Amino acid sequence: MFIDKEKSEMSKRRVVITGLGAVTPLGNNVQELWANLLQGKNGVGPITRFDAGAFTTRIAAEVKDFDPMPWLDAKEASRMDRCTQFGIVAAEQALQDAGVKPRVQPGEQGNADAEVILDRARVGVIIGSGIGGLETTAANCQTLFTRGPHNVSPLMIPRMIPNITSGIVAIRYGFRGPNYCTVSACASANHSIIGAVHSIVLSEADMVITGGTEAAIIPLGVAGFAKMRALSRRNDEPARASRPFDRERDGFIMGEGAGILVLEELEHALARKANIYAEVLGVGMSADAYDLTAPDPDGVGAWLAMIRALNSGDISLEEVDYINAHGTSTSLNDPIETRAIKRLFGARAHDIPVSSTKSMIGHLLGAAGGVELIATALSVAQGMIHPTRNYEFPDDDCDLDYVPEGARQHPIRVALSNAFGFGGHNATIAVGAYRQ
């Protein structure tokens, strides 16, 4: 069934996950997020960041009680869009979790004994965002049209550009490895993570801070997605609005936040005595080449991304024990992703648990894949799968095991994390438990 039987280059330099950081609608750190996901809690509610009374969709999955001050000083925070603040805070958490030395101070050369193992010239930063600093863009457009060009902020450009989060992390730590941002809609974080894997496998870096960040819950962002009729209008029942694979689904819920991981070459991680959550075993990418927003109805693009991830890690179909689905709660994505899974795994597809993180935190757009890979890595590490919330009414086109009953204990050899974006961008990451 595999397209390519050749042994993957992935086996030459192994990549492991050694740090996790998250800012999400279900908690502003990984511990809170994971505990709430296992409990099947709801992160969706009425929009509070602006008056949404005139909008057809008035609900979203907002980050709550976010305070960047423990991580950023007031001046730093004022120079960043909310999108960047999320990414920096999650990156700081991930680096701290990975046991990386605190950031360099002005004038520091980074030559202390602790730097013998961590060569900052070989640490990269690749953090994706589907939209970037949309709040900054919208605010400065309003200023331009109402007050004129001389009143536009001189910080507009560095606050709005999607790549600035990667740049700031590198500046704060003195990391001089590969540094860029991927922008591929809802596949942005997964593409960033895949870029990080490639940098390590190709020996361009020994460590890469990667993932995604997004903050688009502003009037312009909600209006744009609502006009596409992509969003749920279940305004009176926000806790039941995000319902991936359920027959009564009516659109996705906008979310915001960041999910950042530290990826590291195995021998480098072992030399540091780093904690290893999971190993990245394979990665796969594809294009639907079909439509601006609709996925290929046959699921060929999603199937290709998954099978390429398995091929790249020389992983058999029988080894896959869990899939963290893209699972958006939209009429098109859910049955098409289901179709792709069934096409790949055949009859065994019904024996593989599939769950959607978006059922609880909404769709974090360019940050979704980062948060979802964190959840997938923790599932592998702990042998626990979080549920798909709100799966109440089976759909004939969505007939897999979506774990509706609550968290499930389940040993996992290999797990897949899917991300599919507008424009037909598909990216799948395969992870498993680290074994010597």
pTM summary value = 0.94
Half-sphere exposure of 4 (CA within 13 A, CB side): 15
Rounded Cα gap, residues 392 and 67, in angstroms: 36
Q: Annotated catalytic, 363? A: yes
Rounded Cα gap, residues 413 and 429, in angstroms: 14
Half-sphere exposure of 37 (CA within 13 A, CB side): 32
Q: What is the pLDDT of residue 108?
A: 53
Please check whether the domain covering 15-272 is classified as CATH 3.40.47.10.
Answer: yes
Q: What is the pLDDT of residue 102?
A: 65
Rounded Cα gap, residues 86 and 179, in angstroms: 18
Q: Annotated catalytic, 268? A: no
Residue 299, amino acid: G
**Residue given tokens 């109402």 in the structure block:** 146
Taking only the tens of pLDDT, the chain with its 436 residues reads 444 444 444 458 999 999 999 999 999 999 999 999 999 999 999 999 999 999 999 999 999 999 999 999 999 999 999 999 999 999 999 999 999 976 655 555 544 434 447 899 999 999 999 999 999 999 999 999 999 999 999 999 999 999 999 999 999 999 999 999 999 999 999 999 999 999 999 999 999 999 999 999 999 999 999 999 999 999 999 999 999 999 999 999 999 999 999 999 999 999 999 999 999 999 999 999 999 999 999 999 999 999 999 999 999 999 999 999 999 999 999 999 999 999 999 999 999 999 999 999 999 999 999 999 999 999 999 999 999 999 999 999 999 999 999 999 999 999 999 999 999 999 999 999 998 8
Reported as type and span, the H/E element at residue 171 is helix 164-173
Rounded Cα gap, residues 220 and 218, in angstroms: 6
**Residue given tokens 């897949």 in the structure block:** 416
Under 8 Å between Cβ of 85 and 15:
no
pLDDT digits (tens, 9 = 90+) for 86-127: 999 999 999 999 999 766 555 555 444 344 478 999 999 999
From 181, 186, 398, 425, active-site residue? 186
Could you list the beta-strand ranges (E) of 215-277. 257-265
Residue 254 tokens read as: 């906008």
What topology does CATH give the domain 282-432? Answer: Peroxisomal Thiolase; Chain A, domain 1 (3.40.47)
pLDDT digits (tens, 9 = 90+) for 306-317: 999 999 999 999
Domain locations in the chain?
Answer: 15-272, 282-432
Residue 391 tokens read as: 């799966």
SS3 318: helix
From 191, 198, 268, 326, active-site residue? 326
* Cβ count within 10 A of residue 22: 30
> Would 15-272 and 282-432 be classified into the same CATH topology?
yes
Q: Greatest CA span in the chain, whole angstroms? A: 64
- The sign of the dihedral angle between the CA atoms of 384, 407, 19, 310 is positive
The dihedral over CA atoms of 85, 91, 97, 103, expressed in degrees to the nearest 10, equals -90
From 191, 268, 363, 425, active-site residue? 363
Query: Running DSSP on this structure, what letter comes out for residue 112?
Result: S
